[in-house]
Structure 1
Amino acid sequence: MKWFVFFIAFILLSVFFISCSSTKNIEALKPTPSDGTPVVYQNKTSFIGLPVEITLKDIEKQLNKNLQGLIYNDSILDDDATEMKIWKSGTIVLSEKNDEIVSEIPLKIWAKVKYGTDFLGLNDTKEIFMDGVITLSSKVNLTNWKLYTVSRLTDYKWNQSPSILVAGKVVPITYLVNPTLSLFKKSIAKQIDKAIDETCDFKPYVLNALAEVSKPFLTHYEYETWFKLIPIEIYATAAVLQNEKITMDMGLKCTMQTMVGQEPKNSFDKSKIILKPVTRIPNKAVVAIAAVSTYKSASRVVTKNFKGQEFGSGSKKVSVQNVELWEKEGKLIIALDLQGSVNGTIYLTGYPQYNTTTKEIYFDDLNYVLNTKNVLLKSANWLLQGTVLKTIQENCRYSIAENLAEGKSSFEEYLDNYSPMKGVYVNGTINDIVFEKMEITNKAIIAFIETSGEISVKIDGID
């Protein structure tokens, strides 16, 4: 975390500029860290309301992509006295009228109809051929990210006259088929509904998009900072068809965190994501982030940034060889390995605090560890002067207003037509990031920050 690196820098600079001219060796007793149990902290869950929009053109594209050639085949005659095969013969065109999807579907239909009676074998079958464009009107419902339709055949236009095969010859029967087409209406509509239901499942796209945004990503190379989003549950309202698109509200319950150090593991498991139906979702995002900086990682970053640098003037110079941080009995221990006018390690202790008015991080009750005091009394007692410690404490401040603004800017990059995958676009606005509180654990310093805003998702142009 940037602010942490900078306020450690203030401590170092304060000590270096008041170092004595002659070299002195100090050997203070190192305070032992707390036990090595894992980091445990309670992070708030975040809730993101996501109005979702799916264009009819995208559904049309998916239908034409997935419905090819033979789309229905009923080869059993005896169950309902009808065999039927249906082929899609051209491009399906979708539109919207009176809150229903209107589908114009080019089809070729072959049917074998059995008629008569089985008594004494008095029955016969006829084959019927139809080629044209049928029009369906469909009530639509999007449940569990899958499109379901209930359709009825409302119109038909023949490219070729419907015909039957008689004695090996094709005989037009338009005058017979048109009045009796009601025999096929329900069957054709039912099969088209089935084909739509099977091909318009958007759940994989939603889960794949979640999988992408759940991958930990590096937010700052120099400070080895990673961001991680962990989805928990997804909520969704009923779908509404209007203005050539299907809209619905989705809600994402998740946790968010930042980590300093190595890349965190990706814990996303799409099989564990639950989609829950709800009647209403507020159109807002409430985001709580736990920014976790382990002492090991923070020590390595601070050492890397300051090791080898010299501070001071003339003969009064010291350099930092190593910096270590850890927790002891609820306080933060800062170990500074110095070389130059003062050689050895000094230990400081205090409580990191945050000033909500000035947006500054500062140390409360900053002091030398008791054993360090005793050593400095004998070898470098000038470090014990009240003015010296006061100077350290006064300078151990760092405004994080710029960092909070930078964090907001980083968020906004993912809300400006951000596309986690082809055809999925995220837009929105976010308010200022607010620092809530800070906790010290046995393994890390955890800063809790919050923000709010509005986010929307548009599905348009998926493959």
Structure 2
Amino acid sequence: MIKLFGKIITATTVTILFFSCSTTQKIEALKPTPSYTTDIVYEKQVSYFNLPVEITMTDLQGQINKYFNGLVYEDNVLEDDNMMVKVWKQGPIILNERFGKIDMVLPLKIWAKVRYGFEQFGVKLYDTKELNLNGTIKLTSAVTFKNWHFSTVTEITGFDWAESPSVVIAGKNIPMTYLINPAVNLFKKQIAQNIDNGIERSMDIKPYVLNALDFMSKPTEVNKDYHVWLGLQPLELYTNQAVVANKKVSITMGLKAYLETSINAQPSVKFDKTKLLLQGAEKLPADFGVTIAGIVTYANASALMQANFNGKRFESGSRSITVEKIDIWGKDGKMIIQLGMTGSINGNFYLSGIPKYDAVKKEMYLDELDFVLDSKNKLLKLGDWLAHGTIAAKLKENCKYSIADQLALGEKNVKTYLSGYEPVKGVKVTGTLTSLAPQKIVLTSNAIITTIDARGKVAIAIDGMQ
């Protein structure tokens, strides 16, 4: 009787244990503690930029008139050629573009003192006359670019007198302009040289270019909440020949530079404008590459992933679970997903995986995903069916989320800087974006940051000489 009672007790205990293994249990797995790298994240890329420097005829005309003014030629010696001459610029120089060169019209006011007469029987009979004449010089200039300067080679193509007074010499009317034309040939050369000197002095674009690059190279905190920085370091600058067309003088400069994104600290790239050299080049690349940051908070990522589990019940045979809550954080470069479950097992389980990107689906997913289990805890052994069975596979399929919105936002931000962005007055950035591709995923203490490689073409136009 006693033995029978013992057998009944034993059988009942086994039945209870067996039943307990197949019904709801409260299980708490080992919770991984958050940990994040404190290293600065660098994404440095070599990029190429086109910097078309364009100077309109209006700007160039203003510069020439500013530096070429007042008295432009003077000859105070009468005895050598029977003439004294002073020449002033009488009105603004007018510029036009024609056949790849610059045409100029320069109105002049001329004062001349002319000595004239004749010699008869060894006697020199002379008289002098002072003249005030108006004339217009026509010039044409070929433009080149060298050592940061636009320079010109100017030639006089014509001279028109507004009037032509005459004087009677030996009974003949002699035009006074005829008498002073030898002096005109002299001062035409001097005026052409003065214009060339004025253009070279006034058209030094070095301070404009270097100041613009210096401003643009200062590190910018593009996202203050997550301390994401962008930096630019110009490396080399190239230029091709000057072109006169479409009512402007232009050259295209090519900039080779580092672009760097960093997190938690300012970029390491630095720009020293005194060391930037200008070199000639036949062909200039125009592609740029920059790393931008796509940021998703852990709370947002949890919500996106939670949407995959809403209303879903995962079953395997007689067992089933429902994921009620998801939390996400980082540990040692891996993403931890806390699954709050109800059903055949109640409690929190933890998944660990390496975050990666699916370019086709534009989704973040976890590679090498597996449950974090405490092998020393016997209760967890009872949940082995969860960690390694059909339900586990179904759970892993749902541990992903789309970053299409973040890519669209990143594209919008880049395009903002490529649509006439003006960092300083007279400097405009334009361009096109050709591709966006996520690269590296970084887990920080408060967000998941995806470094996105942006490619395109860009031009930085410098316009408006002061």
For residue 97 of structure 2, what is the aligned residue in structure 1? 96
Matched with 2:259 is 256
In structure 2, the CA distance between the partners of 1:259 and 1:129, relative to structure 1 (3 Å rule), is farther
Aligned residues: 399
**Residue equivalent to 2:334:** 332
How far apart are 1:138 and its partner, in Å? 1.0
Deviation at 1:32, TM superposition (A): 7.2
Greater relative CO (CA pairs within 8 A, separation 6+): 1
CA 1:136–1:418: 2 relative to 1, 3 Å: same
Q: Counterparts of 2:36 and 2:224 in 1: how far apart (Å)? A: 29
Query: Which residue of the partner structure matches residue 67 of structure 2?
Result: 67
Structure 2 residue 449 is matched with structure 1 residue 449: no
Q: Give the 3 Å change call, closer, same or farther, for CA 277–111 of structure 1 in structure 2.
A: farther
How big is each residue's C-alpha offset from its partner over 1:342-367, in whole Å with a ceiling of 9 and x where there is no partner?
xx998753222222222222110123
- Separation of aligned partners in 2, 1:30 and 1:40: 26
**TM-score of the superposition, structure 2-length normalised?**
0.65
- Of 219, 236, 239 in structure 2, the residue corresponding to residue 236 of structure 1 is 239
Amino acid aligned to 1:397: K
Residue correspondence of structure 1 range 12-411 to structure 2 within 5 A = 28=31, 30=33, 39=41, 43-50=44-51, 52-64=53-65, 66-67=66-67, 69-70=69-70, 88-107=89-108, 132-157=135-160, 174-217=177-220, 219=222, 225-260=228-263, 267-282=270-285, 285-291=286-292, 302=298, 325-327=330-332, 331-332=333-334, 334=336, 349-369=352-372, 374=376, 377=379, 384=387, 390=393, 392-411=395-414
Distance in 2 (alpha carbons) for counterparts of 1:50 and 1:420: 14
User: Structure 2: which amino acid aligns with 1:451?
Assistant: R
Query: CA offset at residue 236 of structure 1?
Result: 1.5
How many Å apart are 1:193 and its aligned residue? Answer: 0.7
Q: 1:368 to 1:230 in 2, by over 3 A?
A: farther
State the 1:462 CA deviation.
4.1
Secondary structure at the aligned position of 2:188 is classed as helix
Q: Distance in 2 between matches of 1:461 and 1:102?
A: 21
Secondary structure of the equivalent of 2:105?
A: strand
Deviations 1:334-390 (A, max 9, x none): 48799xxxxx9987532222222222221101234565x656956996985756654
Q: For residues 218 and 248 of structure 1, do their structure 2 counterparts lie closer, same or farther at Cα, with a shift above 3 Å needed?
A: same
Counterpart secondary structure, 2:140: strand
Query: Partners in 1 of 2:376 and 2:287 — Cα distance?
Result: 50
Question: Rg larger in 1 or in 2?
Answer: 2
Q: Which residue of 2 aligns with 1:166?
A: none
SS across alignment from 1:433: strand
C-alpha separation in 2, matches of 1:185 and 1:193: 12
Structure 2 distance, partners of 1:194, 1:89, is: 19
Partner of 1:18: none
| Alpha-carbon separation, structure 1, partners of 2:415 and 2:431 | 8
CA positional deviation for 1:89: 4.4
Cα pair distance change 1:390/1:110, threshold 3 Å: farther
- Render the CA deviation track for 1:298-357: whole Å, top value 9, x for unaligned: 89x5479989xx9999xx98797xx75353xxx52548799xxxxx99875322222222
C-alpha RMSD of matched pairs (Å)? 5.3
Confirm or deny: 8 A CA contact 1:25 1:379 kept in the other structure. Answer: no
Residue 150 (structure 1) shift:
0.8
Distance verdict in 2 for CA 1:84–1:357, change over 3 Å: farther
Identity of aligned residues (%): 35
Decide which moves more: 148-157 or 81-90.
81-90
Secondary structure of 2:45's partner? coil
Q: Structure 1's 354 and 333: CA in aligned 2 closer, same or farther, altered over 3 A?
A: closer
Output the amino acid matched with 1:438. Answer: K
Q: Distance in 1 between matches of 2:371 and 2:85?
A: 89
CA distance in 1, matches of 2:25, 2:108: 96
Q: Distance in 2 between matches of 1:231 and 1:152?
A: 39
Letter of the 1:141 counterpart: T
Gaps of 5+ in 1: 1-20, 114-125, 163-171, 339-343
Q: Secondary structure at the match of 2:353?
A: strand
Deviation of residue 46 (structure 1)? 1.8
Q: CA deviation at 1:197?
A: 0.3
Does the CA contact (< 8 Å) of 2:53 and 2:463 recur in 1? no
Q: Structure 1 386/439 Cα, relative in aligned 2: closer, same or farther at 3 Å?
A: same
Residues 88 and 386 of structure 1: CA distance in aligned 2, closer, same or farther (over 3 Å): farther
Specify the alignment match of 2:425 in structure 1.
Answer: 422
Q: Would the aligned equivalents of 1:231 and 1:253 in 2 still touch at CA under 8 Å?
A: yes
Gap change, CA 1:247 and 1:69, over 3 Å in 2: closer
Task: Tell me if structure 1 keeps the 8 A contact 2:351–2:371.
Answer: yes
Partner in structure 2 of residue 4 of structure 1:
none
Deviation for aligned residue 1:54? 3.1
Which amino acid in structure 2 is aligned with residue 193 of structure 1?
D
Q: State the alpha-carbon separation in 1 of the partners of residues 106 and 30 from structure 2.
A: 87
Partner amino acid, structure 1, of 2:206? K
The AA in structure 2 aligned to 1:413 is T
Counterpart AA for 1:44: Q
Q: Check 1:291–1:99 CA distance in 2 against 1; reply closer, same or farther (3 A cut).
A: closer
Pairwise CA distance, 1:254 = 2.2
* 8 A Cα contact 1:52 1:247, kept in partner: yes
